[in-house]
Structure formats: C-alpha cells, structure tokens
Structure 1
Amino acid sequence: MKILITGGAGFIGSALIRYLLTETGHSVINVDKLTYAGNLESLKPIESSSRYSFEQADIGNAAKMEQLLREYQPDAIMHLAAESHVDRSIDGPAAFIETNIVGTYVLVEAARHYWQSLPEAKKAQFRFHHISTDEVYGDLIDDDSLFTEQTPYAPSSPYSASKASSDHIVRAWHRTYGLPVVVTNCSNNYGPYQFPEKLIPVVMLNALEGKSIPVYGNGQQIRDWLYVDDHARALLLVLEKGKIGETYNIGGHNEKTNLSVVQSLCRILDELQPDKPGGISSYQELITYVKDRPGHDLRYAIDATKIADQLGWTPKETFETGMKKTVQWYLNNLDWCRHIQDGSYRRERLGLGEA
C-alpha cells in the first residue's frame, strides 16, 4: 500500500514509519507540520528510502491536504497528527482545539472528497485510520474495571476532550458519509525517540544530570504502559485487517503506578549507569514529589481482548524488557536528546522553512 501518515515526525508516528519501511513493503508519505514535538532526526534511519516521502504541511490547511491527496493518491490515511501533552493543554488549550478538532475535521473532509472521487476498485480498498488515546474514557474508580470499546467517554483535560471530539468527528463521517474508517485507542506509550517532556525521558535525563525527578502528587496514579514498537505493529494490523467502522483498544497489559515506573527506571539506571552524579548511591534519591496536576486522572487500564481475539495481536514486550531497551537506547543516544534540549533540532530545519 501507499500510506499517507499525518504526524509522522512525532514519537508514535516516527516509530510507525520506521516499522513500515524496515519490516514491510509499504510506501509512506509523511505529512507533518513540524511543531516543537516534530523531530526529523527520529526518521534518519529510513529517510533515504525510495519508499519514503516527506511533506511539511498543516492538516488544517484544506487546500494543501486536498492537493497532497490528489498528488500522491494514497491507498490509506493513518492520522496521528495531534497536540498530545496534557500539561500544555492545561496551560494553553487553544492549540489543542485547533489541531485536534479543527485539523481532524479538515483532514477527514479532504479524505472524504478524495475517497468519493476514486474508481470503485480503489474506493473499496481505501481506509482512514484514526489513532487516538485511552484518555478519552476519563479514569477508572473501580480497581477491577477496564476500558473497553464500549466505555462511555468522560474526558478530564483539554487534551483528552479534544481527542474525544476528534474520535466523534471521524465516526460521524463514517456513519453519515460512509467513509471507511477504523479507530484505535491506545494506552501510554514509551520507548526510543520519545520527546523529552514525557515522564520516562524526563526521569532519565534528570537522573543522569543529578537533577530532581518530579513525581506528581503521591505518584499513585496508575497507567497501562505500551512499548511503542508493539503499538506500531498493532496499528498496521488494524489498518490491514480491522473491520470498517470498528474501534480497537490497544494496551500493553502493564498497569503500573507512576511512582513504580520512576523507581523501576532508577533501578535500571543504577545497573546500566553506575557512575552517578553528585555522590548519590541510587538515582531514587533524586525523586521529589511536586504539586499534582489539575484534574489528574487516577487510573487508566485497557481491555485489549478484542484486538487479541479478532486480529491476533498481543504485545511482544513485557514492561521489564521494554523498559530496559528504552533506557539503553537513551544512554546510547544522548546526543539526540541534547539536540532537543538545546533547540538545535529545530534550527536544523532552516532548509525546510522553520527556524
């Protein structure tokens, strides 16, 4: 297939593109606006592939989206472009409304017009895959309950509300216009190339520099952790074999409190990077509790039975194996992190039109 991927310079999008170009014969058109979290360095392993094309563009630009669809004639769209950091959504929700809601509307409309113009054979094969989050479900009070595909939406933050809105838009375009869509909602991703504002890279980099490791509240918020390469495999499987109009939850089967995740990272660092800063005996000494985030959901947990039973997907990585791979990757790629921290990853885009 020829697959147009939005947000392909982001964390999950770049993992998906690397997987597609190294493990399959599919071709990829990467459409990314290159906001602060878009990093083309994450795509260097595949950027020279003859099956890869990059277009710097905003999904909210209707004329540009329609032009790219006409030009590349993709067989499928995988929509990952989104503002995705909860803290940023609390401080400045407008960008989340603009990208996640308005941008999705513009893209799905362009996709509808393109799909309706296709010959019948290509029209029947076309798919629009919308990639979303488990945060749209709110949080779980009962320790034994899990998010299923039928769980009512109850978003808590501007970010999750904007993603819930985008989910509803995509499903409405299927119901009203017949656009062939599939939707996936995933749990917390982790792994290589994650932007250093999320929990795991923040812990890693602060620890290595001897800085305090911030933990919100008491650290007892529970998340289900999914290794990003496992997620990439699941996304392609849903695109290829998922039933039109259906939703599939993708989870890692790894429920952990935020505090236990931080402690696990510190233990792995103690093992892999024993030369510690500041004379500390363990990186856990750097853990500091900070004021909790407003509206912080207590627990997320995904029931991934449907994708396992219907499509045969289960995660390959355990929390322990995936986390150790992640820590080792960061230790081997500190230059990648430093380019983000000092802003040089953005200055290198001058040739692409962004300072």
Structure 2
Amino acid sequence: MKVLVTGGAGFIGTWIRSELIARGHSLLVFDHQDRRQHLADGEEFFLGDVRDATAVTEAAAHVDGIIHLAAVLGTQETISNPRPSAETNILGSLNVFEAAAQYDLPTVYAGVGNHAFRLVGTGCYTITKSAAEDLTRMYNLYRDGGRITTVRPVNAYGPGQSIAAPFGTSRVRKILPALSCRALTGTDIEVYGDGTQISDCVYVEDVARTFVTALEHTAEHGPTEKPVEVGPLTSVTVNDIARLVAEYAAKVNGREPVGITHLPMRPGEVPNAVVTSDTDTLKQIGMTAADFVPLDEGIRRTVDYYAGTWLPGYLAA
C-alpha cells in the first residue's frame, strides 16, 4: 500500500513512517515544511498545507490510504491565538476527508486523548481536534467513500520529541522532554498543579504500531465501530512520572535526584484531571496494551536519548 502521511515530518509522523516501511509499505510524506532531505528509501515528499484543498486532493490521487496527523498543537498557545488551530485542525481535516472520500481511501485520523475536556473547558487544540472527529462520524455514516478510523493516543513520548524553552526552540511544551531536560541539568522539575492529576503517557513506537495497524484494518474491514484509544494498562499521576524521570536521570548523570517544584496550573488545564484511555478498544484491531513498552522502560529510553543527543550540545553552548 502507498500511504499518504500528513504532518509526516513531525515527531509521531517520523515513527509512523518507520513502521510503515518496516511493514513493506511505501510513503508520500505531506508536510508544510520542506524536509525531503530526511527521506528514507521508499518515501516521496509532497510540500503542501492541509488548508490547501487542491494540494491535498492532488496528493490523495497518488496513494492507497491516508494517515492524517497534520495539526496545530498546543493548549495555552491555541487559547491566545485560536484561529490557526481552527483553520488547520477543522478545515484542513475537512480537506483530507473530502479527498479520501473522493478516491475511496481508507483513512486513519489522529484524535486526542483528552477529548472529553471540551465539555469542561480547555484549549482550542482539543476543541478543534474533537470537532474534526465529529466529522469522521458524519463521513462514515452518510458519505460514499467514508472509511475513517479515529485513533486517540494519550501523551505520546519518546526519542526525537522536540524540546521547548528554556532548553529548546519548540513552541509547545511536552511533558517528557520538559522533565528530562530539567532533571539531566540538575534543575528541579516543574509540575503544574499539585501533580496528583493523571495524564497517562504512551511510548511513541506503540503509537506508531497502532496507527499502521488501524490503517491496515480499515483497508480490509472498514472503520472501527469506536475510536481506538492508545495508552497504558495502568495509570499513574504526574508526580509519579516526575519521580521516575528524576530517579533515572540521577543514575545517568551521577547526581542526587532533583526535586519537584509545583507551579499554578495554566489556562486550559483542568484541575484534578484524569486523562486515560479505554484500552479495550485496541481489541478492534487485534492489539492489546499488554504488549506496550512499560513506562519505566520508556522513560529509560527517552532519558538516555536526551542525555546522548541533546545534553552534550547544551552543556557545550
């Protein structure tokens, strides 16, 4: 199968591309940033923006299936500036779904693990991604060619995830890079809120396997009845995650574990939040979370990655 991956140059997209190639698929990587220099064998590149319906339709004409990841991310960022996320996450997704229906293509859409937050107040990212998920149901029910499965990962983490300020240039803060970089530099970890909130994390390799399996399933059997939720079998608090990172980083750099500092929650974050997944939904595509990388092992791999690829340059700067 030749697969179009929108947002394919991003963190999750890069891991999905590796999984697709490992399974013998070819790729058309669709991204608004020119990353063709990073292509592997079996990959082609299409420079375009999902907001451009013509570009999306042209790309879809050359593939057998779509994994749609392209989105504007961020919780606080989309509150202060909601228009880009609305244009990309809703209208851009609509362009992808229209093109998929036109060519009768099996499609997997990347939903959000905290989709329920839209009912209690959150950022435009969750609102717009959930709105696009509503569109997938419309296409599946009423449109010829509507074959869309939604995959909802909780917080994906792992090697290669971008780093936000003050340690990197990303505009969106992600939990594992933020915790890892602080711990590796001997800086207390910052946790928003009291840390008792549950915000489950799932290793990115498992996320990639789920997306590709969902696409193969959709191509053969049609869309799943329910969204496929990707997360661990056992939930932990943000404090638990922070402690695991601090303890392993201490082993790596030979220091005492750093402390944990609690900060006020930011706009769009829900006090006492519970972000988990219904892992039984994985059965729809023949998967189980029992096979996923355990949190302690995933954190070890992730901290090792930042210690080996980011820390030396940061310390030398």
Q: Same fold (TM over 0.5)?
A: yes
Aligned partners of 1:33 and 1:269: how far apart in 2? 35
Aligned partners of 2:59 and 2:28: how far apart in 1? 9
Say yes or no: does 1:303 pair with 2:278: yes
CA contact (8 A) 1:155 1:164 kept: no
**Match of residue 9 from structure 1:** 9
For residues 85 and 25 of structure 1, do their structure 2 counterparts lie closer, same or farther at Cα, with a shift above 3 Å needed? Answer: same
Secondary structure at 1:138's aligned position in 2? helix
- Identify unmatched segments of 5+ residues in structure 1: 116-125, 140-152, 343-355
Match of 2:122 among 148, 156, 159: 156
For residues 198 and 177 of structure 1, do their structure 2 counterparts lie closer, same or farther at Cα, with a shift above 3 Å needed? Answer: same
Aligned partners of 2:121 and 2:94: how far apart in 1? 19
Say yes or no: does 1:48 pair with 2:40: yes
Identity %: 26
**Match of residue 20 from structure 1:** 20
CA contact (8 A) 2:232 2:292 kept: no
What letter corresponds to residue 231 of structure 1 in structure 2?
A: V
Aligned partners of 1:113 and 1:337: how far apart in 2? 48
How big is the shift at 1:211? 4.0
Match of 1:190 among 157, 170, 173: 157
For residues 6 and 310 of structure 1, do their structure 2 counterparts lie closer, same or farther at Cα, with a shift above 3 Å needed? Answer: closer
**Match of residue 95 from structure 2:** 106
How big is the shift at 1:198? 0.7
Q: Deviations over 1:95-123 (max 9, x none)?
A: 111110111112211222233xxxxxxxx
Aligned partners of 2:264 and 2:54: how far apart in 1? 44
Aligned partners of 1:291 and 1:94: how far apart in 2? 26
CA contact (8 A) 1:171 1:245 kept: no
For residues 291 and 155 of structure 1, do their structure 2 counterparts lie closer, same or farther at Cα, with a shift above 3 Å needed? Answer: closer
Secondary structure at 1:82's aligned position in 2? coil
For residues 3 and 336 of structure 1, do their structure 2 counterparts lie closer, same or farther at Cα, with a shift above 3 Å needed? Answer: farther
For residues 335 and 16 of structure 1, do their structure 2 counterparts lie closer, same or farther at Cα, with a shift above 3 Å needed? Answer: farther
Match of 1:174 among 140, 150, 153: 140
Aligned partners of 2:312 and 2:12: how far apart in 1? 16
Secondary structure at 2:109's aligned position in 1? strand
CA contact (8 A) 1:6 1:81 kept: yes
How big is the shift at 1:40? 4.5
How big is the shift at 1:236? 1.2
Q: Compute the TM-score of the two structures, normalised by the length of structure 2.
A: 0.86
Aligned partners of 2:15 and 2:252: how far apart in 1? 24
How big is the shift at 1:84? 2.2
CA contact (8 A) 1:254 1:318 kept: no
For residues 218 and 154 of structure 1, do their structure 2 counterparts lie closer, same or farther at Cα, with a shift above 3 Å needed? Answer: closer
Aligned partners of 2:284 and 2:11: how far apart in 1? 28
CA contact (8 A) 2:101 2:147 kept: no
Match of 1:206 among 163, 168, 182: 182
Matches within 5 A, 1:280-295: 281-284=256-259, 287-295=260-268
How big is the shift at 1:79? 0.3
Secondary structure at 1:255's aligned position in 2? coil
Number of residue pairs aligned between Structure 1 and Structure 2 = 298
Say yes or no: does 1:69 pair with 2:36: no
What letter corresponds to residue 221 of structure 1 in structure 2?
A: Q
CA contact (8 A) 2:75 2:268 kept: no
Matches within 5 A, 1:270-349: 270-274=250-254, 276=255, 281-284=256-259, 287-297=260-270, 298-308=273-283, 311-314=286-289, 315-334=291-310
Q: Which runs of 4+ in 1 moved over 4 A?
A: 335-338
CA contact (8 A) 2:154 2:202 kept: yes
- Identify unmatched segments of 5+ residues in structure 2: 164-172
**Match of residue 230 from structure 2:** 250
Give the RMSD, CA atoms, in angstroms.
2.4
What letter corresponds to residue 157 of structure 2 in structure 1?
A: Y
